[in-house]
Structure 1
Amino acid sequence: MCQVTETYHDDFEQNEIPSESKKCVKCKDVIAVVAIRAGDKYCRGCFELYFHHKFRATLGKNRVIFPGEKVLLAVSGGPSSSSMLRQVQEGLSQNAHKKLRFMPGIVYIDEGGALGQSLDERRQTVAKMDDIFKASGFPYHIVPLEQVLDLPSSVIMMAPSSQQQASSYKAYVDNFIRKNTCSCLTPEQKHETSLPFVQESQTEQLQQLINCFKTLTAKEDILSNLRQHLLVHTARCEGYSKLMLGDNCTRLACKLLVSISLGRGAQLAQDTSFSDSRYGDIVSVRPMRDYSAKEIAYYNHIFNVPSVFTPNLQTKNKEKSSIQRLTESFINKLQVDFPSTVSTIYRTSEKLQTASTSSSSANTCDRCLLCMCSLDTSVENASAFQATLISKCLSQTKSGGANSASSPRQNTGPTTRCCQGKEEHCETTLENRGCCSVIRAPDTTDVTSLLCYSCQLTTKDMSSVDRLPQYILSEAQIRQRRARMKEEISDFLLDD
């Protein structure tokens, strides 16, 4: 038995790890420098080949990007998007084994105005990004987030898609190679754009929009939607048909749990899939979705991939400051003890499908004004969502009934005659929806009814819905007028 007075040797003998286990699992000759998982150890050369092959295999397996297409890379300066830019550079180089056949461009969204950064800080960040983009040799565009306030209403409308079918991909590639049009993949004009001039009033208006949300969760959600709108608008204006995002496996795993927490269960398939065609003509792709954050960090460190740190709304905030921040911290801590956490959540997202009308075939009026997904509010009466609406209506009716009992009814709309005072034609007032009631503009813009369930929760945290950008409010008014007109002539329409 162990005794208190027993003495032990200070230096314990350690078993030497066999030299074979330190070698690369691919070539089995060179000492490994990277250990991605327990049994996956690669040397420098094999790890580079593995990383490049996974990127091209993801693009080739999905067959979404056709040869000769213009693809816009959304680069934020972070590790994932910077690594995506390097993969495209390697794929278009002369030494590439299987060259990529699309024409790339770069876009960077400067969000410093929404975060309260000074003009000097924003210029320093843009200067760093400008150096990286010039070294790539691709045309690039630097767009401030303030431009989202001046977008047209068409950005939240589905444009007709001109995407080819995946079944004709092989024939399209063979025809492309036969014509020998590889020389056109090198862009001739390089747009060297610095930070455009931004008025101080626009920056203040953007900050007021962000600050009108009470919680940090809602601020991050609306900022993500506005950023996506600006990316789609930039791609359309510059003639790009694909938008390449840098979402990696770890980020998509966090996004899946966050979306469930925010009530976006019906939109999970579009938010986490490889391709997203909710905008019709602009298809978003995620070629980095098979990479974990650990793999990307190793690759950027070993091969000196430049990246720029840009603060966001989560920077220097506590762990429980938002649902996004808490979910990210939870997954990262769980990943330390259980290395298969991220991959399990990610593989689950691949099996999800949307049960409702697909986002690509839904009518424009049946889409959310913010996220552009199909509305999930048209559900059965015996549902949790309808129960919530009934409770809300009952609470509002009770408070409204108390006020109406003590005060006479007040007219909220105009009381002029329907036919502009021509009583010989019609005696119906505009308030009662006469023959000319279509000219009556709505008193208030009801944006909530045109949003999905998750976006309704986001706007619920707003102090005033009128703070939303004008292109969203204008589209809401157009849809309301169209719905009111359809209701008035419903007796003369044929059923589907």
Structure 2
Amino acid sequence: MACSNGGGTCLSGCYKEDDNKKHEEEAAANGVVPNPKGNSHEGDACIKCKSNQNIAATSPTVAIGGDAARFCADCFRSNLFGKFRFAVTSNAMISPSDKVLLAFSGGPSSRVALQFVHEIQSKAQKNFDASKDRALPVFGVGVAFVDESAIYPVPSHEFNDAIEDMKLILSNLTPPRKEFHVVPIESIYSLDSGNVKDRLKGFVNAIADATGKEDLLMHLRMSLLQKIALENGYTKLMLGSCTSRLACHVIAAAVKGQGYSLAADIQYVDARWKIPVMLPLRDCLSQELDMLCRIDGLKTMKVFDIPHSGINGLVSSFVKLLQEENPSRECTIMRTAGKLTPFHFNRIPESEDLNARLTSQKRRKKFNLKPIESLPQESFCPICNSPTNEYDLKSLSNVENIQSTAETFGAICCSSCQFQILPKEPSAMEEFYSLLPQLITARAKDGDHCNQRFLWEQIQDCLLSDSEDET
């Protein structure tokens, strides 16, 4: 409301209130949380740069995870990138000779991961161009998108538009060039498997449990990403899993009885796979990543935005409610789960490259880590690739009495997959086994050898040696 000051100069601040309200509305539309104390007070200065010059209508302060701390938009971005870079360097995730494959869904997490790994690569390229000897090469980056339209149909024009947007995002990035792989999820089967789409649908529909069906698709997606990486010469696989997503996984894994293998899933590095998996956004909240996309204008798209179902859906809603009540809940869940002891494969294996090997040796000495060769062999579930505990392995003593190959396969799976995914009826189990992709059956054969070694170690103390037998 305008005042009626006849002198033409308003001293009441009524216009200023209207302008402030307008700036707040613009900031909210951009997904940025403005400082409620106002921009003119000294206490509103960014806690990192100690200056309020950047705190304006075009660059308001940003609240981080519900903390009292405030950052200007520039420092907010620098803070997130610092978390990403520290995770990469402190865990020796990327060496100059690597070729990294980024799993890209089009959402904020994978979009930020793409932007950050591109910036690290660009800096490495500038250092390479400026150096005289050019001793260290620049690591490569590729992007993979898994097409799940065989399971979750989407209109063809929407899918094609999303793919074109992804190609445009990659083409707009400065060199080095990044390869783009669009792979349908049914290619998890070999080409000689007949109608692979129908086979995949039959395989998924053989699972009655909604949670098991959703988990199986997640396991197939990971197996397919491994296949893409192996076939195209990639040495590392990077995922955009963040604190928010991992916090949901912690609760869901506890509910599903996956407590033993939980520590393996939430670390920065997971080298149980042939291509080691990296989680450089492990310490970033989904709200932070979404906000950064809005501030920097990073385009995102939702191709297969399917809501979670079953246990996963309940846990997702539960954690979301906790986060709304207390913005630090997701971080608290991760800090609690982080106290679990990691497995020996939760680090990058030593490379033949001299520089990478020296870095790995320094890290092993710093953190007092034992060489992987001196650690015991793990056994893994052929479906989810989770490490199995001694209780599950000891139950394998009954496998010799099982005649069916399908029943043998079910016996070497972890207890969670047996309950959530595997059919209970023998005939249904036979059909399920016949539809398994070759990648999973191959893992089952490799795991069977490990299980046999474990059983041999358990009974060798009870066996007679040749000399004792002769006596």
Q: Would you call these one fold, judging by a TM-score over 0.5? A: yes
Residue number in structure 2 paired with 1:371: 384
Residue number in structure 1 paired with 2:80: 51
Unaligned runs of 5+ in 2: 1-16, 18-35, 129-136, 348-371, 467-471
Distance 2:322 2:265 in 1: 23
Q: How far off its partner does 1:259 sit?
A: 1.0
| TM-score of the aligned structures, taking structure 2 as reference length | 0.69
The secondary structure found in structure 2 opposite 1:247 is coil
Per mean C-alpha deviation after superposition, the further-off stretch among 44-53 and 140-149 is 44-53
**Change in CA separation of 1:204 and 1:119 when aligned onto 2, cut-off 3 Å:** farther
1:469 and 2:457 aligned: no
**Change in CA separation of 1:277 and 1:473 when aligned onto 2, cut-off 3 Å:** closer
**Counterpart residue identity of residue 288, structure 1:** L
Residue number in structure 2 paired with 1:183: none
Residue number in structure 2 paired with 1:266: 260
Residue number in structure 2 paired with 1:114: 151
**Change in CA separation of 1:151 and 1:349 when aligned onto 2, cut-off 3 Å:** farther
The secondary structure found in structure 2 opposite 1:243 is strand
**Counterpart residue identity of residue 52, structure 2:** D
Which of the numbers 128, 136, 139 marks the counterpart of 2:165?
A: 128
Q: Deviations over 1:410-464 (max 9, x none)?
A: xxxxxxxxxxxxxxxxxxxxxx99xxxxxxx956553211111112122235754
Q: How far off its partner does 1:346 sit?
A: 0.8
1:287 and 2:309 aligned: no
Aligned positions of 1:92-171 closer than 5 A? 92-93=121-122, 102-117=139-154, 119-136=156-173, 137-150=177-190
**Counterpart residue identity of residue 331, structure 1:** V
Residue number in structure 2 paired with 1:24: 46
**Change in CA separation of 1:133 and 1:457 when aligned onto 2, cut-off 3 Å:** farther
**Change in CA separation of 1:483 and 1:282 when aligned onto 2, cut-off 3 Å:** closer
Residue number in structure 1 paired with 2:358: none
Q: How far off its partner does 1:92 sit?
A: 2.7
Residue number in structure 2 paired with 1:314: 307
Q: How far off its partner does 1:374 sit?
A: 2.4
Distance 1:34 1:479 in 2: 49
**Change in CA separation of 1:492 and 1:132 when aligned onto 2, cut-off 3 Å:** farther
Unaligned runs of 5+ in 1: 1-13, 153-198, 316-320, 394-431, 434-440
Residue number in structure 1 paired with 2:417: 455
Aligned positions of 1:350-389 closer than 5 A? 350-353=338-341, 363=377, 366-376=379-389, 378=391
Distance 1:150 1:246 in 2: 28
Q: How far off its partner does 1:373 sit?
A: 2.8
Distance 2:126 2:321 in 1: 39
Q: How far off its partner does 1:306 sit?
A: 1.2
Q: How far off its partner does 1:43 sit?
A: 1.5
Aligned positions of 1:64-79 closer than 5 A? 64-79=93-108
Contact 1:274 1:285 in 2 (8 A): yes
The secondary structure found in structure 2 opposite 1:460 is coil
**Counterpart residue identity of residue 321, structure 2:** K
Q: How far off its partner does 1:480 sit?
A: 6.5
Residue number in structure 1 paired with 2:337: 349
**Change in CA separation of 1:60 and 1:149 when aligned onto 2, cut-off 3 Å:** same
**Change in CA separation of 1:149 and 1:120 when aligned onto 2, cut-off 3 Å:** farther
Per mean C-alpha deviation after superposition, the further-off stretch among 268-277 and 113-122 is 113-122
Residue number in structure 2 paired with 1:250: 244
Contact 2:382 2:447 in 1 (8 A): no
Q: How far off its partner does 1:375 sit?
A: 2.0
Contact 2:46 2:52 in 1 (8 A): yes
Q: Deviations over 1:16-68 (max 9, x none)?
A: 76712333222222214311133221222222222222211121122232222
**Change in CA separation of 1:95 and 1:322 when aligned onto 2, cut-off 3 Å:** same
Residue number in structure 1 paired with 2:205: 211
Contact 2:261 2:388 in 1 (8 A): no
Q: How far off its partner does 1:301 sit?
A: 0.3
- Which structure: larger Rg? 1
**Counterpart residue identity of residue 239, structure 2:** L
Distance 1:125 1:201 in 2: 26
Q: How far off its partner does 1:90 sit?
A: 2.1
Contact 2:380 2:447 in 1 (8 A): no
Distance 2:102 2:67 in 1: 33
The secondary structure found in structure 1 opposite 2:189 is helix
1:87 and 2:49 aligned: no
Which of the numbers 297, 303, 319 marks the counterpart of 1:331?
A: 319
Q: Alpha carbon RMSD of aligned pairs, Å?
A: 3.9
Percent identity between matched residues is: 29
| TM-score of the aligned structures, taking structure 1 as reference length | 0.66
Distance 2:211 2:148 in 1: 17
Contact 1:33 1:44 in 2 (8 A): yes
**Counterpart residue identity of residue 207, structure 1:** K
Q: Deviations over 1:380-434 (max 9, x none)?
A: 98xxxx7xx9xxx9xxxxxxxxxxxxxxxxxxxxxxxxxxxxxxxxxxxxxx99x
Q: Deviations over 1:96-120 (max 9, x none)?
A: 9999953211111111112133555
Distance 2:41 2:277 in 1: 46
Per mean C-alpha deviation after superposition, the further-off stretch among 57-66 and 282-291 is 57-66
Contact 1:70 1:104 in 2 (8 A): yes
Which of the numbers 302, 311, 314 marks the counterpart of 2:295?
A: 302
**Counterpart residue identity of residue 29, structure 1:** N
**Change in CA separation of 1:95 and 1:446 when aligned onto 2, cut-off 3 Å:** closer
